[in-house]
Amino acid sequence: MGPIVLYDTTLRDGTQGENVNFSAEEKLAIAHRLDDLGIHYIEGGWPGSNPRDMRFFELAKRETFNTAKITAFGATRKPGISPETDQNIQTLIDADTPVITLFGKTWDLHVQKVMDNTLDENLAMIIESVAFLKEHGREVIYDAEHFFDGYKDNADYAMQTLFAAIDGGSDTVVLCDTNGGNLPFEIEAIMATVKQRLAEKYPPPNGASNINIGIHTHNDSGVAVANSLVAVNQGAMMVQGTINGYGERCGNADLTAIIPILCLKMNRPCIPINNLTMLKKLSRFISETANLVPANDRPFIGKSAFAHKGGIHVSAVIREPRAYEHISPELVGNRRRVLISDLSGKSNVEYKAEEMGVKLGGNGYNSREIVSKIKDLEEQGYQFDVADGSFKILVEKLTKQYQPLFALESFRVTMEKDKDQSCSAHATIKISVDGNKEITAAEGMGPVSALDNALRKALNQFYPGLDHMRLVDFRVRVIDGREGTAAKVRVFIQSRDQDEVWSTVGVSHDIIEASWQALEDSFQHKLSKKQV
């Protein structure tokens, strides 16, 4: 068994997901990060479908990629015309990429009822389009769209479409679960039969051994990764997918899960093993570029992938990581996290304090007492397992190590609305730093936004360089709704700079007060890093 070839379609199939959009320049930056990881093929888009994709291919021509081949994506020729006169085929040639991925119809349902075409004409479209691109010196990857559904409905015709692509000269045929409805045992059985039928049609040594099979799966049944891995076990040599599983509907097979499984669990190398440490940063980079909040529960590279909350778990993992971790998190660029909550034990607090550089010994407040205080606060509505920044400040306060870098004197927030205008917010704040007082005012899109802007403006007088810090998530939760509008609320704020993402929490019956608590902790955390 040889190495697995990775085909990334984040820049094309991934952008079909809701709220996923990249400019041509952003696509180029992502392509370089994928190349650094060791991806073999990067599908840049569908030239001719939109100006952005054509611009990407123009930009990519001037770039050097060390591992990846940039690939253009498009369809077979239209019915009733030749490839030479098909505009879409011509734009694929004009993209000037070394590789072209062509998709065609495999399912007779689509051919006859969706396209209103004939089965024979569809086969001619496949073989002629592939042959035309091969004549122009391109490596051709053929994506057999809806292959598994088509095979279940009409196996003989589905195979004929593969034969057409192979006879036209396709270098790789990729079997696609386009609707994402097939299950692993179905993929496994069909893959085994397809291999057998290809061997019968193209007998070795010069036949089936030269036919590369790939797999392309969608996640509509929640098993895209499993389907891809089953296909590899059945002989697929190319795996197509996207970073973070971005894609249409429920997404594509997630390469951030597939890659470490292939390398670490299946002994099927696909990238240099040392490059696995880039996975988490690559995932975050693409999430940030798409302006999407990273999913904490994403396997391997998610923030929660190696997070431990129960006290018994933490005690065990400190002694022997294998007890509750299936791999070392550092292998994929991640890290172990110990969460603090009312389920925490002494081990959680000690581990977390050491991780954050807070000393617990010799100050009269041991870790057991800290656990007790945390449990009391969580009973009031605080939640420290998702608020590392607030937890650190709390422990520093309890151990008499807290040194605030500013103090609030007062603030005032006003809202105004008239019948013809939207609400506007204005905040005035007074803070002190080492005895020096500063009063500033600012507007915002809402009261918390105005307060954030006013505090940032005031702090910049003493601590320049806060421009790199920004709020990336703001959440309000009603703790117990039975009190109606007088209910206590919990506010989470997530902030980031160039190096770190951190979260803080506030709790109060007043949403502005709770927001202030979380906001103050967030800025105190940021400023304390600047002092180190």
Same-domain pairing of 328 and 223:
no
pLDDT tens string 153-196: 999 999 999 999 999 999 999 999 999 999 999 999 999 999 99
As a whole number of angstroms, the distance between CA 426 and CA 122 comes to 64
Query: Would residue 381 count as lying in a domain?
Result: yes
SS3 at position 15 = helix
Same-domain pairing of 224 and 161:
yes
pLDDT exceeds cutoff 60 at 475: yes
Where residue 206 falls among pLDDT bands split at 50, 70, 90? low
Query: Would residue 261 count as lying in a domain?
Result: yes
Same-domain pairing of 323 and 219:
no
Integer-rounded Cα radius of gyration of the chain: 28
The CATH code of the domain that includes 436 is 3.30.160
As a whole number of angstroms, the distance between CA 212 and CA 174 comes to 8
Query: Would residue 96 count as lying in a domain?
Result: yes
Whether 203 contacts 197, CB under 8 Å: no
In 449-512, beta strands by DSSP E: 470-478, 489-496, 501-508
Give the end of a domain, one of 271, 294, 328: 271
Count other Cβ atoms within 10 Å, centred on residue 461: 12
Identify the pLDDT of residue 143.
98
Mean pLDDT of 136-161: 97
Same-domain pairing of 247 and 346:
no
Whether 94 contacts 64, CB under 8 Å: no
Count other Cβ atoms within 10 Å, centred on residue 79: 14
Burial of 156 (0-12, 13-18, 19+ CB in 10 A): exposed
What's the total number of domains in the chain? 3
Q: Among residues 335, 325, 377, 368, which one has the least CA distance to residue 349?
A: 368
Q: Are strands 41-45 and 436-444 parallel, antiparallel or unpaired?
A: unpaired
Query: Would residue 529 count as lying in a domain?
Result: no
Query: Would residue 286 count as lying in a domain?
Result: no
Identify the pLDDT of residue 364.
47
Query: Would residue 189 count as lying in a domain?
Result: yes
Q: DSSP H helical segments within 14-107, as ranges?
A: 24-37, 51-61, 87-94
Same-domain pairing of 345 and 368:
yes
Query: Would residue 140 count as lying in a domain?
Result: yes
Whether 270 contacts 4, CB under 8 Å: yes
The CATH code of the domain that includes 120 is 3.20.20.70
Identify the pLDDT of residue 251.
96
Measured CA to CA in angstroms, residue 247 lies from 17, 394, 399, 521 at distances of: 4, 41, 48, 36
Least confident residue range of 20-29, 154-163, 281-290, 295-304 = 281-290
Q: Which helix (H) or strand (E) holds 407?
A: strand 407-416
Identify the pLDDT of residue 319.
80
Mean pLDDT of 456-482: 85
pLDDT tens string 301-340: 998 898 877 667 777 877 888 888 899 999 999 988 776 6
Q: Which residue range(s) make up the domain with 434?
A: 406-462
Whether 175 contacts 157, CB under 8 Å: no
Same-domain pairing of 259 and 355:
no
What are the structure tokens assigned to 22, written together?
A: 């990249």
pLDDT tens string 76-102: 999 999 999 999 999 999 999 999 999
Query: Would residue 339 count as lying in a domain?
Result: yes
As a whole number of angstroms, the distance between CA 279 and CA 275 comes to 8
Identify the pLDDT of residue 419.
77
pLDDT tens string 376-427: 887 788 877 667 888 888 888 888 888 899 999 999 999 988 877 788 899 9
As a whole number of angstroms, the distance between CA 255 and CA 9 comes to 10
Mean pLDDT of 489-512: 87
pLDDT exceeds cutoff 70 at 275: yes
CA dihedral defined by 130, 135, 140, 143, rounded to 10 degrees?
Answer: -10
Identify the pLDDT of residue 532.
47
Same-domain pairing of 80 and 228:
yes
Mean pLDDT of 208-216: 82
Q: Among residues 193, 270, 279, which one has the least CA distance to residue 229?
A: 270
411 forms bridges with which residues in the sheet? Answer: 429
pLDDT exceeds cutoff 60 at 363: no
Same-domain pairing of 317 and 457:
no
As a whole number of angstroms, the distance between CA 113 and CA 108 comes to 8
Measured CA to CA in angstroms, residue 423 lies from 51, 420, 451, 466 at distances of: 39, 10, 15, 27
pLDDT exceeds cutoff 60 at 65: yes
Same-domain pairing of 75 and 219:
yes
Average pLDDT of the chain is 89
Least confident residue range of 3-17, 217-231, 252-266, 498-512 = 498-512
Same-domain pairing of 64 and 89:
yes
Same-domain pairing of 117 and 165:
yes
Residue 258, amino acid: I
Identify the pLDDT of residue 180.
97
Give the end of a domain, one of 376, 398, 420: 398
Same-domain pairing of 76 and 165:
yes
